[in-house]
Structure formats: structure tokens, C-alpha cells
Amino acid sequence: MFYKWAEKQKLAKEKSLIFWWQSKKDPRPNIGDYVAYDLVNRILANKGKQITDKHSHHNKLVSVGSVLHFANTNDCIWGTGLNKKMDDKVNKFRSLDVRAVRGPLTRDYLLKRDIDVPQIYGDPALLLPYFYPRALMENTVKKDYIVINHMNDDMQKYQGHEDKLVTPMQYPGSFIEQIINSKRVISSSLHGVIIAEAYGVPAVFFDSGSGESMFKYEDYYQGTGRTDIPKASSINEALSKTIAPLPDFTPIANKLYQAFPFDLWETQKK
């Protein structure tokens, strides 16, 4: 009982220091949201730190996902994106400590609010290959393709492809393993696309009508230097689509890592 209580206390403290979204209805992790916890935790561990070692408790770190509207004044932003399907009035912050944003569309939005934003773009999920190495999970036999749904999708759209369907509601290791062992990813989940591309797997965005704004997809692609989105309105179209060679994500990943706010965890001088 004490162990469970201690774990709950630790989790509550972590949630006050960094932000990640978790559904109140579904206890499973949604990959695009859970990565905000998992990746930050691993990056800090690389420096011998824990989330709870953060010295300032007056602002939190907001990172992976279209979660800018969860930021409060003076919060730290690292790779976060604007969620355009939300009414602008939910963005109540007046100032932010911005280290990186998902793409230039989010940057433009913040600049119009007189918030300084460096030209450092990219979704932090692009760093996952450094922490989940391909070599540990790769098989010799690969599926021709997998299909990743969005958590809000009407699942009838995936009839006939059930054997290729991969849910985003799972932890990173198992999710990444299925991506690595496929030749093509068709995904209505943005992070299905991002994580596939991070591992060099060609990906097509499936416009499934999930209710998500195209803004976040355009923001991500533009942040990686692209304007053409490999997009399809059906699985069959996605299977036949020609995908351009992927850009080199190494410079983007390096800049993102260097922009991580390690200073918020540095020991304060007395």
C-alpha cells in the first residue's frame, strides 16, 4: 500500500513539473502524448537527473504534442505545437520561455503575440531513435505496410485492413517495433507519421476525417523543410502513393537536443 501511495505522490509531483496529456476515460497511453513524459524522462536520465530534480516549481515544461493551450504564463516550451481546432481564447499565457517549437506556423502564431521564438523547429519524437535503437527491435521479415489509426477515428474506415492495424494507444517500445518492421506506414495519427519518419520508414498521412485540423500536420512538415504532404483519403490510395525521399533529420534532432532546457535541472548556486 505504501509503495502505491509513494508512486502516486511521485507521479503527481512529476505532472506539476512537466506536462503530458492523459485521457481520463482510457488508462492506456496515447503514443503522441505519452512520449512527452517518456522522452523527457530518458533525456534527463542521460544527465543523471530525474524529473523531480527540477529546481523551479513555478513553471512547467511543455513539450511533445499539440498542447500549447495547456501552457501557462512563463512555462517553458520545447517542440510544442499549436492546436488549431481549439478556440484561441484557451491560450491564456502572456509570456513563455520558448526553446523550440514544432514548426514555423506555431512560431508565427507566438510572434504575433509578441513572444520571442527561436527558429528551432521539430517534434521531439524525432529523437526517439537515440533512445530506442532500431537494432534491438528489427526483424528479418517485415510487413508490406501497417495502418495506424487516430484515437478519435471511426474504426469502420479500416475494414479489410484489420490485420495491419496498429493502435496508437500503447507504450513506445511496442509501437516503434511494429513501425520498424514494416515497409510503409499509413497513419492518421501525426505521431505515427513522425515516428515512422524518424526511423526512415516511408509514411503517408491518411486523412481519415478524425476531426483534427490540418494545421498540425502542415506545421510539422514545414518544420522539416517540406511543403508537400504525402496525403491520401483512403488506404488503397495510400498504398499506391509515391513517397519522396525523406530529409536528413539528424541536424533537426541535434538542434532539438541542444535546445532542451537542461538549465531548469542544473544545481542552483547558493
Instruction: Say how far apart CA 222 and CA 103 lie, in whole Å.
Output: 6
pLDDT attached to residue 78: 98
Q: Which residues lie closer than 8 Å to 2 by C-beta, 6 or more apart? A: none
Q: Are residues 103 and 116 in contact, defined by beta-carbon separation less than 8 angstroms?
A: no
Among 250, 245, 202, 207, CA closest to 226: 245
pLDDT attached to residue 100: 98
Instruction: Say how far apart CA 253 and CA 231 lie, in whole Å.
Output: 24
Mean pLDDT split into 10-residue runs, the chain, 270 residues? 64 88 83 94 96 89 96 97 91 97 98 97 97 94 93 76 90 96 95 97 90 90 94 93 94 97 79
Taking the model in full, what pTM does it have?
A: 0.93
pLDDT attached to residue 128: 98
What b/e readout covers 195-228, taking b as 16+ CB neighbours within 10 angstroms?
A: bbbbbebbbbbbbbeeebeebbbbbbbbbbeeee
pLDDT attached to residue 27: 83
pLDDT attached to residue 37: 96
Question: What are the grid coordinates assigned to 62, written together?
Answer: 511543455
pLDDT attached to residue 80: 97
pLDDT attached to residue 153: 67
pLDDT attached to residue 67: 95
Query: Domain ranges in the chain?
Result: 2-126+253-265, 128-247
pLDDT attached to residue 22: 82
pLDDT attached to residue 1: 58
| Alpha-carbon separation of residue 202 from 59, 134, 250 (angstroms) | 38, 15, 16
pLDDT attached to residue 28: 85
pLDDT attached to residue 6: 62
Dihedral sign computed on CA atoms, order 228, 250, 100, 117? negative
Instruction: Say how far apart CA 193 and CA 189 lie, in whole Å.
Output: 7
Task: Specify which residues 121 forms β-bridges with.
Answer: 101
